[in-house]
Each structure stands twice: as C-alpha cells, then as structure tokens.
C-alpha cells in the first residue's frame, strides 16, 4: 500500500529488467535458426542436383 491506502498493481523495474535478458536470448536463438534455414533453402535453390 502507498500513503493514501490504495494498492498499486503492475510490474517493477527489477522484474522488467529480469525479463529483458530472457527475451534477448530467445530473439538471438530465433534469428540464428532463421539464418540456418535460409542458408539451407538458398543452397537448394543454387544447387538443386544435390537433393
């Protein structure tokens, strides 16, 4: 409760800063997976006889 007797809801800055690294790791992993997938697709387009 604050001084006026009402409760406050929401996320604290510490909680938000804790979520930020998690989102960053997931984003980096997703971008890496996307780059690998695009590399495989481009390799098949450039050399279709390897299929």
pLDDT in tens, 13-48: 899 999 999 999 999 999 999 999 999 999 888 886
Q: Which residue has the higher pLDDT, 6 or 37?
A: 37
Residue-level pLDDT at 28: 97
Where does the pLDDT of residue 3 fall: very low under 50, low under 70, confident under 90, or very high at 90 and above? Answer: low
Alpha-carbon dihedral sign for residues 36, 37, 40, 46: negative
Question: Which pLDDT belongs to residue 44?
Answer: 86
Distance CA 35, CA 48 (A): 19
């Amino acid at each position: 409760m604050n001084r006026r007797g009402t409760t406050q809801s929401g996320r604290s800055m510490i909680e938000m800063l804790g979520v930020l690294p998690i989102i960053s790791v997931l984003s980096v992993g997703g971008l890496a997976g996307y780059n690998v997938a695009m590399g495989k697709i481009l390799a098949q387009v450039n050399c279709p006889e390897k299929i």
